[in-house]
Amino acid sequence: MKKYSILLLTVFSGMFCSCDSYLDPKPDQSLLVPRTLEDVQYLLDNNVVFNFQGFIPLLAADEFSMTEEAFNGASVTEQGAYTWSEDLFPTGTSTDWNYPYEAVFYSNVALDALGKYTGEKDQQYYELEGAALFYRSMAYYELLQTFAPAYQLEGGNEQLLGIVLRNDPDINLPSERATLEDSYIRVIQDLETALNLLPDYVEYKTRPNKAAAASLLARVQLSVFNYAEAARSAEAALGLYTERMDFNDIDSGTSRPFPLFNSETIYYTQLQSTSVMFSQLFTVDNGLIESYDSADLRLRYYFQTNADENHRMTGHHTGSSTFFGGLTVGENLLIASESNLRLGNEGKAKSWLGELLSLRYEDDSYREILDLEGEELLARILLERRKELVGRGTRWTDLRRLNQEAEWEKTIKRDLGGEIYQLTPMSPAYVFPIPDQEILRSGIVQNQR
């Protein structure tokens, strides 16, 4: 996928494998000194660090179900994510916490090296700066979805705790959680800077370009209810990235309909894999399956039917059984549609929705959907969002934001052998606890549940 620097990766791998926490002191940091732009590029070309996302939001949302047998065979962390437990990290650590902060550290090492660089600041220099800011922003955003409360529609985000923000690779600096407001401000500001620095085109979809930065900006701005900026960013991404994937053109005889780095993918990441996610007993919510009509090609290409008539998700944009978490054309079309409708631009909302449906439905069978208006149209856009983005890890964020509007709030229930677990709208369980080892090592404030 990318080229690596063996020396740098060896040093980094040894350091990270020996530590349980990414905010505690690391005496080996002086060994990590990328000096050239090529060194920085190699550092940022680490797919294992930058192109993976956590799995907790996927298991915690309402898209998939486990049988009692699957649940009993799952790990404690898998079980805890699925039932929104406050005790889901038996070792006191979590890859959903550690991996993003590893990406933050790598990004800061790269930015520090660029800040000390004495050579010519050419196009490559600025593109590397943009990439490092993008990677750090994506890591911060991921952490915010799991370990911080949802951004509040009614305000008060200055009084809520966000995440630890790191601008410096010196991990000996004291740790303190920023406010939720400041956390999102940092993510958005860095992405806006990255958008101006990144190139229009990149050779590998594991590297960000302008369209990727605009896409991530749209995702972030939607989560903070800034519909005007979300629409602008999504539309900018769609203008920058002009490829489209028409599901009518997919070879129906293939078991993997979406090849790796396909035309739908603007930026590639995949979710961390767990054993239960590959199980035939990890099935798609039946209500979600029933929302696809027979002319919807996603029903055919996203899922396979088990012998018991339940459905497994098998059509991932990874080209394999691994779940995809990246940025796509479809997500941007939906953000542009929803945001424009909420701004009162119904014509534009229908236009963007129509473009998506024309790529996902047989013939013109979707046309009657575009006759909907007002709240009925918004309900349909939100439904299409669930259907399009299933298995991406984005549904958890959607539940957190939509639960703040009475007409869209939802209670999730799990029935495991007669034992009922329930997650109500606005529950404190929508925020997972920070791993205990991180609290002990850094002294940061724990989430209250």
Residue 146 in this model has a pLDDT that exceeds 50: yes
Sequence-distant (≥ 6) Cβ neighbours of residue 270 within 8 angstroms = 51, 52, 53, 318, 322, 323, 324, 325, 326
* Pairing label, strands 64-66, 282-284: antiparallel
User: How far apart are the C-alpha atoms of 448 and 446, rounded to whole Å?
Assistant: 6
Residue 15 in this model has a pLDDT that exceeds 50: no
Summarised one tens digit per residue, pLDDT across range 53-80 is: 999 999 999 999 999 999 999 999 999 9
Residue 27 in this model has a pLDDT that exceeds 60: no
Q: Confidence class of residue 171 from pLDDT cuts 50, 70 and 90?
A: confident
pLDDT cut 70: percent of the chain above it: 93
Element (H, E) at 311: strand 311-313
Sequence-distant (≥ 6) Cβ neighbours of residue 341 within 8 angstroms = 349, 377, 378, 381
Q: How far is CA 174 from CA 93, 177, 364, 441, 444, in A?
A: 19, 10, 59, 10, 9
* Pairing label, strands 64-66, 327-328: unpaired
3-state SS, residue 53: strand
Q: Name the average pLDDT for the chain.
A: 93
The pLDDT assigned to 254 comes to 85
CA atoms within 13 A on the CB side of 259: 6
Question: Could you say which of 1.10.10.410, 3.40.50.300, 1.20.120.330, 1.25.40.390 is the CATH number of the domain covering 6-250+323-442?
Answer: 1.25.40.390
Decide which of 1 and 370 is more confident.
Answer: 370
User: How far apart are the C-alpha atoms of 52 and 381, rounded to whole Å?
Assistant: 28
Q: Confidence class of residue 252 from pLDDT cuts 50, 70 and 90?
A: confident
Single-letter code of the amino acid located at 113 = A
User: How far apart are the C-alpha atoms of 437 and 44, rounded to whole Å?
Assistant: 28
The pLDDT assigned to 290 comes to 98
User: How far apart are the C-alpha atoms of 214 and 327, rounded to whole Å?
Assistant: 10
Structure tokens at 376: 């009925």
Using a 10 angstrom Cβ sphere, with 0-12 exposed, 13-18 middle and 19 or more buried, the burial of residue 201 is: exposed
What is the signed CA dihedral for 242, 246, 247, 250, rounded to 10 degrees? -100
Sign of the CA dihedral with 400 first, then 402, 353, and 221 last: negative
**Neighbour count for residue 196 (Cβ, 10 Å):** 10
Sign of the CA dihedral with 138 first, then 201, 251, and 335 last: positive
